[in-house]
Chain A
């Protein structure tokens, strides 16, 4: 039976979306991330209210939880690819869709379709909470800055999710993938920033630091900062190269 290529794409995309949506762990992760984000936003806001120096920006406080928030999205990405390998689901998948590279790229596309709205809602909820709580402190905020920052945060979270999915597809097991990614994002990266400040220019090109420029408001006191567009480009490059490596391995390797 010959199916046109466009039809094939929609069918595979539908199947991949179906698989993702029916994973209960994904919904637990997303809900947990949402609740955690609100709790953290509350904590950061109460700290911000106490200080009340006026220089504090609502966006800064609302997005301060991003550092923790990305953990939820890392888990999301890993779950999406590693769930195929618990049990023999991967073999069923490959029997029905024998085009491996095509299948994995569609999986990433399906993941992105789910991640983008969720990331936007979660990032916006944090900012919104801060905004409501700090209404009376009379901090003016331009609506277009807010929107660009939120889009940047959404993009960062989506790229992180896709990167984690690619790493998950490379390692094929949940625990090592989780340890490697969380270890990098939460241990290695902050520590190298503290201990090796002289290499700052160099560190700017790593996926998390480059990505953070997508939503960080630009501060003028640092020399070596990247513009949001540069940050986006670099972290997109990282994500794409990880996906490419994952696809190459996926095509070569025994399932």
Chain B
């Protein structure tokens, strides 16, 4: 528990974390309101095809905040300080204090989980209010099951970022890959045209927890392929695999290496 508190305190004292909070809390609302403005005319005319997705699209594309959170939580530990202040890495201090590497990993993951859940709840509140503000009576009803799915999606994404950064030790690669992959031009959209296995990629499967719920089959990428539950399960399996690999590598690796 003290390790968990220490991790929380380390996370809150990172300067970059405020960027993550800012983006996490307001980017989804911004995207959702842009989408709502674009959709409003179609909805009033009654020709809208994705009424049930309005608002959720912000939550799907606005995960950058937790990606930054997960990446920074680990990459800050491995950042080499300048030679003027000793040229050390925080990770050596952390592992001196918490000698069990497994406990360290768990504490870190726990801290990231708590913060990303809180961040997602804030994001849901801003997104829902932005959607209601713009669409008024046309706003879709936000169901609890889908909102919980969104929270799971955010938490799993943060964990993927955390696990991948434990493997690379440098924040640039996971940040670039995950941010591109959470955008509209993600790799899964591209790969889907090549193989149907792309539906099992973590971001695509995870998004089914709250997106793509209406089953008007048009044969495109935006159809439901999994049920929300299996989508979540697929993404959880990815998180689990990444975590096991990260834990094994982290356990075996020399800190300085």
Q: List 23 A-B contacts (CB under 8 A).
A: A25-B170, A43-B194, A47-B193, A67-B185, A68-B180, A68-B187, A75-B172, A87-B82, A88-B82, A175-B16, A175-B19, A178-B176, A179-B19, A182-B175, A182-B180, A186-B180, A187-B179, A187-B183, A190-B185, A191-B31, A191-B61, A191-B184, A196-B34
A67 nearest CB neighbor, chain B only: B185
Kindly count the residue-residue contacts between A and B in the assembled complex, taking CB atoms under 8 Å apart: 87
Give A175-226 interface residues, CB cut-off 8 Å to B: 175-176, 178-179, 182-183, 186-187, 190-192, 194-196
- Which B residues touch A175, using CB under 8 A? 16, 19, 68, 71-72, 75, 171, 175
- B41 CB → nearest A CB, Å: 11
A88-B68 contact in complex given A46-B194, A75-B172, A191-B34, C-beta closer than 8 Å: no
Contact partner of A179 (CB less than 8 A), chosen from B64, B180, B194, is B64
Nearest-Cβ distance from residue B47 to partner chain A, whole angstroms: 16
Chain B residues touching A, range: 35 or more
* Interface residues of A, count at CB 8 A: 31
Q: Given that A44-B190, A186-B179 are contacting pairs, would A195 and B172 also be in contact in the complex, using a CB cutoff of 8 Å? A: no
Q: For A29, give the chain B residue with the smallest CB separation.
A: B172
* CA gap between A18 and B191 in the complex, in Å: 39
Residues of A near B184 (CB, < 8 A) are 187, 190-191, 194
Which residues from A are CB-within-8-Å of B75?
175
Which residues from chain B sit less than 8 Å from chain A, CB to CB? 16, 19, 23, 27, 31, 34-35, 37-38, 61, 64, 68, 71-72, 75, 79-80, 82-84, 87, 170-173, 175-176, 179-180, 182-185, 187, 190-191, 193-194
Chain A 24-44 residues near chain B, CB threshold 8 A: 25, 32, 40, 43-44
Residue A58 CB within 8 A of the other chain: no
Q: What's the least CB distance linking B51 to chain A, in Å? A: 16
8 residue pairs, one from A and one from B, having the closest CB atoms: A186-B183, A87-B82, A195-B38, A195-B34, A182-B179, A47-B193, A190-B184, A187-B183
